[in-house]
Structure 1
Amino acid sequence: MSTPDRGGIVLAAVLLSTLTFPLAITGASVALPSIQAELGGGLTALQWVVNSYNACFAAFLVCAGSVADAIGRRRVYAAGVLLFCAAGLLCLFVRDVAALNLLRAAGGIGAAAAVAGGSSMVAATIEGPARARAFGLLGTVLGAGTAFGPAVAGLLVDSLGWRVAFACPAAVAGLALLLVPLLPALRGTGRPVDWPGAVLFTSALVTLIAALVEGPERGLPVVLAGTVVSALLMVAFALVERRRRDPLVDLALLANRRFVAYALAAAAFMAVLVPLLVYLPSYLIAVVGLGAAQAGLWLLMLTGPTLFLPTLGAELAARLPHAVVVVGALVLCAAGSAGLLVLGPDATPWTLLLPFLLVATGVGLTNGTIDGMAMGVVRVEQTGVAVGVFNATRITVETVALAGVGAVLAALTGGRLEGEGFTAAFHVVALALAGVAVLAVAGVLALGGRREAEPEKSPLS
Structure 2
Amino acid sequence: MKDTPPSAARHPVITLTAVVLASLLLPISLTGASVAMPGVAADFHNGLAAGQWIVNGYDLTFASFMLAAGSFADRFGRRKVFLTGIALFALCSLISALSNGIVLLDIARAVAGVGAAAVLTSGSALLAQVFDGPARAKAFGVFGTAVGIGMAFGPFVAGSLSTNFGWRSVFLVPAIAGAVVVALTVFLPESRDPQATRVDWAGTFTFSGALAALIAALLEGSQLGWASPFNIAAYAVFAVLLVAFVYVERHQERPMFDLKLFSQPQFVSLCVGVVALVFAFTPLLVYLPTYLTAVKDQSTMHAGVDMLMLTVPTIFFPMIAGALLRWIPVRHMVTASVALTAIGAAWLTVLSPDVSNWAALGPFAVIGIGIGVSFGVMDGAAVSSVDAERAGMAAGMFNTMRLAGEAIGIAVAGTLLATFTRQQIGSKLDAYPGPYGHQPGALADALNQGQLSGPTDTVPAASRAAFHQIGADAFTSGLHQLLWILAAFAAGATLLVAVVGAKSRAAAAAQAEQTAPDQAEADTNVPVGA
The TM-score with structure 2 as length reference comes to 0.83
Bigger mean CA offset, 257-266 vs 16-25:
257-266
Q: Which residue of 2 aligns with 1:200?
A: 206
Aligned to 1:332: 340
Deviations 1:422-448 (A, max 9, x none): 111111110111122112112212321
- d(CA) in 1 for partners of 2:68, 2:144: 21
Q: Secondary structure at the match of 1:309?
A: helix
* CA–CA separation in structure 2 for the residues paired with 1:199 and 1:122: 28
Aligned to 2:183: 178
Q: Which of the residues 37, 57, 66 maps onto 1:32?
A: 37
Alignment check: 8 A CA contact 1:285 1:291 kept: yes
**Aligned mate of 2:382, from 342, 355, 374:** 374
> When the two structures are aligned, how many residues end up with a matched partner?
457
**In structure 2, what is the Cα distance between the partners aligned to 1:320 and 1:101?**
44
Counterpart pick for 2:219 among 197, 213, 223: 213
Which protein has the larger Cα radius of gyration, Structure 1 or Structure 2? 2
Partner of 1:419: 472
Counterpart code for 2:498: L
Residue 350 of structure 1: how far off its partner (Å): 1.7
Mark the runs of 5 or more structure 1 residues left unpaired by the alignment. Answer: none
2:247 maps to which of 239, 242, 252:
239
Whole-angstrom distance in 2 between the partners of 1:315 and 1:71: 38
After superposition, what is the alpha-carbon deviation per residue over 1:223-250, rounded to whole angstroms, capped at 9, x for unaligned?
A: 4542343133112111111111111111
Q: Contact 1:65–1:117 (CA<8 Å) still a contact in 2? A: yes
User: How far apart, CA to CA, are the structure 2 residues paired with 1:127 and 1:395?
Assistant: 28
Distance (Å, rounded) in 2 between the aligned partners of 1:3 and 1:95: 42
Q: Aligned match of 2:500 in 419, 443, 447? A: 447
- State the distance in 2 between where 1:90 and 1:232 align: 34
Inter-partner Cα distance in structure 2 for 1:266 and 1:220: 28
CA drift of 1:348 comes to 1.6
Inter-partner Cα distance in structure 1 for 2:129 and 2:213:
35
Matched-pair contact (CA < 8 Å) for 1:334–1:438: yes
What code does the residue aligned with 1:421 have?
A
8 A contact 1:378–1:455 mirrored in 2: no
User: Is the Cα contact below 8 Å between 2:317 and 2:376 reproduced in 1?
Assistant: no
- Given that residues 351 and 357 in structure 2 are in contact (C-alpha distance below 8 angstroms), is that contact kept between their aligned partners in structure 1? no
1:316 aligns with 2:321: no
Q: In the alignment, which of 274, 277, 286 is matched to residue 278 of structure 1?
A: 286
Aligned to 2:417: 409
Aligned to 2:357: 349
Name 2:270's counterpart in structure 1: 262
Residue aligning to 1:15: 20
Mean Cα displacement is larger for which, 3-12 or 395-404?
3-12
Question: What is the correspondence of 1:288-327 to structure 2 with a 5 Å cutoff?
Answer: 288-327=296-335
CA distance in 2, matches of 1:399, 1:300: 22
3-state DSSP class of the match of 1:220? Answer: coil
Alpha-carbon RMSD? 1.8
Give the SS at the match of 2:325.
helix
Q: Which moved more, 1:438-447 or 1:109-118?
A: 438-447
- SS of the residue corresponding to residue 449 of structure 1 reads helix
* Aligned equivalents of 1:136, 1:315: Cα separation in 2: 13
Alignment partners' CA distance in 2, 1:454 and 1:139: 32
Return the alpha-carbon distance in structure 1 between the equivalents of residues 353 and 486 of structure 2.
Answer: 21
CA contact (8 A) 2:30 2:55 kept: yes
- 2:478 aligned partner, one-letter code: A
User: Is the 1:379–1:455 Cα contact (8 Å) retained in structure 2?
Assistant: no
Within 2, Cα distance between the matches of 1:148 and 1:192? 39
Distance 1:27 1:274 in 2: 12
Counterpart position of 2:237: 229
The 1-side partners of 2:98 and 2:330 are apart by 49
Aligned to 2:481: 428
Report if aligned partners of 2:73, 2:192 keep a CA contact under 8 Å in 1: no
Deviation at 1:455, TM superposition (A): 12
Q: Which consecutive unaligned segments of at least 5 residues does structure 2 have?
A: 1-5, 423-440, 448-470, 513-530
Q: Distance in 2 between matches of 1:318 and 1:235?
A: 42
Preserved CA contact (<8 Å) 1:66 1:193: yes
Alignment check: 8 A CA contact 2:153 2:308 kept:
yes
1:244-298 superposed Cα distances (whole Å, 9 cap, x missing partner): 1111111121110101111221222122111001000000000011110000000
Percentage identity across paired residues of the two chains:
40
Mapped pair 1:144 → 2:152? no
1:364-385 deviation digits (Å, cap 9, x = unpaired): 1221311112222211111111
Q: Distance in 2 between matches of 1:253 and 1:330?
A: 22
Corresponding residue of 1:399: 407
Offset, 1:82: 0.5
Compute the displacement of 1:122 (Å): 1.7
Distance 1:373 1:187, change over 3 A: closer
1:154 corresponds in structure 2 to: 159
Write the letter of the residue equivalent to 1:70. Answer: R
| CA–CA distance in structure 1, aligned partners of residues 372 and 192 of structure 2 | 37
For residues 75 and 42 of structure 1, the distance between their equivalents in structure 2, rounded to whole angstroms, comes to: 38
* Cα deviation 1:72-100 (Å, max 9, x = unaligned): 11111101100110111122321211111
Contact 1:44/1:217, CA 8 A, preserved across alignment: yes
Q: Return the alpha-carbon distance in structure 2 between the equivalents of residues 266 and 439 of structure 1.
A: 13
Q: Please state how far the C-alpha of 1:2 moved relative to its aligned partner.
A: 6.1
Letter paired with 1:196: A
Q: Deviations over 1:115-164 (max 9, x none)?
A: 12212222223222322222222111111000000000000001000000
Conservation of the 8 A alpha-carbon contact between 1:264 and 1:394: no
- The residue identity in structure 1 corresponding to 2:211 is L
- The answer to whether the Cα contact below 8 Å between 2:40 and 2:167 also exists between their aligned partners in 1 is yes
- Structure 1 position 410, deviation (Å): 2.2
Equivalent position to 2:392, from 357, 375, 384: 384
The answer to whether the Cα contact below 8 Å between 2:21 and 2:181 also exists between their aligned partners in 1 is yes
Query: Which amino acid in the other structure matches residue 244 of structure 1?
Result: Q
